[in-house]
Amino acid sequence: MKPSKLACLAVLIGPAAMAGPLDEPHLNFTPRTPAEAARIAKVLAPPPGFDAPERFEDKPAGAATVRVTPDANAFSLPSASLDFEDELTFKVGNGLFRKIWVSSPSSTLASDGLGPLYNARSCQRCHIKDGRGHPPESHDDSAVSMFLRVSVPGGPDDMIPEIEGYIASAPEPTYGTQLQDFSLPGHAAEYRLQVDYKEITVPLSGGDTATLRKPTYTAADLGYGPLHPMAMLSPRVAPQMIGLGLLEAIPAAEILAGADPGDANGDGISGRANIVWSVEFDMPMLGRFGHKAGNPTILEQTAAAFVGDIGISSPLFPAGAGECTDLQADCQAAPHGGGDARGFEVDAEGLELTAFYSRNLGVPARRNMDDPQVLRGKQVFYDTGCAGCHRPKFVTHRLPDRPEHSFQLIWPYTDMLLHDMGAGLADGRPEARATGREWRTAPLWGIGLTEQVSGHTTFLHDGRARSLLEAILWHGGEALSQRDAVTRMPPPDRNALIAFLESL
């Protein structure tokens, strides 16, 4: 029998309840035996030294690891562990991921329902080649893979009492929870994203310097009147898509075991789990996906992107008008594509196929693992404390019905937890339990292939960092001591650290 919602919640949010059952309704898993858990603990221990690569380090996704292609398709291969039938399913899902949606009514009944307000016409339009999006490079550049989330402080009616520490927020009355910069003919777009940068010089050891760009975001040319005076804006760039199914298969207990909200061990790192309300399962669950871990499963993340980014309804988010609010009457009254046999603009089968594709994008193999500079950089990574948040290894659940993700040693370099990243990266907008200063630790696997796949080297949640070094230098809050250590270390060690990250 499944535990009650409150019993499940007590486990999810209370360290003292870690010994209790964890409800992970999205997974059918076989619990680990004590002997198995002890063996896994040895495998996950820090390396004994840095003179050579660790065993299996060349396969960051275990048996799902794919070869490195020399072109922009490096993030677009199916997981190597898929069988022939599932590879066909993956390809069908890829077709839906790439599908260009059109307005309704249309003769292409399976593809209509776009908008009326939207940020993109397909999933692929933001996650180009399944990689990272990019911010506009100037105030008048098109922000095709970046948008602003928006909300206002909530009241008692916006609380979720089942989630301890939940921060009440509400949609912006006119604009909802996301600003859309495109619209169908006859409808005004909600805004134009304007980004202005201020250059900041950071001194480094050895006489080096780095230049950071501090962004200011403006929701310009608002199409439906001014924003609420207490509106909170948060910029988001589309993240890379690889390895998501493996992240979904990490045991919640393993993630929660790394949480230390009171910094009991005194290392300055106090990761916290985001607990969110699952629309899919109608209960609190561990947040895993999104820049603030705001979604618990890939299916729910996919459905949220369909409705928010493209204006496509689904069984989880059935609004045919997408993100249109009650104050956008013409938008609400526009034709939509959910009136035919599908029932929704993307039906349950189409949603699951798209999620299957997202779940099974392969992680490329490591490169240059045994290079002396890379090995030195790995040691610097550990010695500096970077592994405190960017946890190198996990072992996934045993999953009888998902053998492609089952019991794999993976190297994602994330703890999947929220961390206070300081005032410099703060967006001031909460999400579930995440504060306006907290972000989920981003996985680092594949990060060295960003330029090859996406044609740029911009990082962080809003793409402000133009290099891995700039991304490190933006770290603050819990990561301030690590950031300062990088500025002070000898330049050869700093170069080795970057070489290590580029090998991931």
Q: Does residue 186 surpass a pLDDT of 80?
A: yes
What is the share, in percent, of the chain residues with pLDDT greater than 70? 93
The runs of H, that is alpha helices, within 306-446 are 329-333, 348-359, 372-384
pLDDT in tens, 272-331: 999 999 999 999 999 999 999 999 999 999 999 999 999 999 999 999 999 999 999 999
Q: Does residue 238 surpass a pLDDT of 90?
A: yes
Q: Does residue 151 surpass a pLDDT of 50?
A: yes
Q: What is the pLDDT of residue 23?
A: 79
Q: Does residue 144 surpass a pLDDT of 80?
A: no
Q: What is the pLDDT of residue 345?
A: 94
Helices vs strands, H then E, count in the chain = 14, 13
pLDDT-derived band at 107 (thresholds 50, 70, 90) equals confident
d(C-alpha 500, C-alpha 376), whole Å = 8
Q: Which two tokens stand for residue 126?
A: 């933001």
Q: What is the pLDDT of residue 338?
A: 74
Per-domain residue ranges of the chain: 5-503
Mean pLDDT of 45-72: 97
What's the mean per-residue pLDDT of the chain? Answer: 92
Which residues sit opposite 235 in a β-bridge? 148
pLDDT in tens, 334-391: 988 877 777 899 999 999 999 999 999 999 999 999 999 999 999 999 999 999 999 9
Q: What is the pLDDT of residue 391?
A: 98
Mean pLDDT of 191-208: 96
Q: What is the pLDDT of residue 199?
A: 97
Instruction: Indicate yes or no: pTM above 0.85.
Output: yes
Q: What is the pLDDT of residue 135?
A: 78
Mean pLDDT of 165-181: 97
Q: Does residue 471 surpass a pLDDT of 80?
A: yes
CA distances from 325 to 97, 118, 152, 227, 338 (A): 26, 13, 14, 13, 18
Do 248 and 359 touch, CB atoms closer than 8 A? yes
Q: What is the pLDDT of residue 22?
A: 63
Q: What is the pLDDT of residue 243?
A: 98
Q: Which two tokens stand for residue 85?
A: 């039938």
3-state secondary structure of 259: coil
d(C-alpha 46, C-alpha 55), whole Å = 12
Q: What is the pLDDT of residue 376?
A: 98
**Phi-psi domain of 455 (left: phi exceeds 0; alpha: psi -120 through 50; beta: other):** left
Query: Regarding predicted confidence, which is higher, 414 or 144?
Result: 414
Mean pLDDT of 46-54: 96
Q: Over 345-362, what HEC string results?
A: CCCHHHHHHHHHHHHCEC
pLDDT-derived band at 78 (thresholds 50, 70, 90) equals very high
Q: Does residue 2 surpass a pLDDT of 80?
A: no
pLDDT in tens, 82-95: 999 999 999 999 99
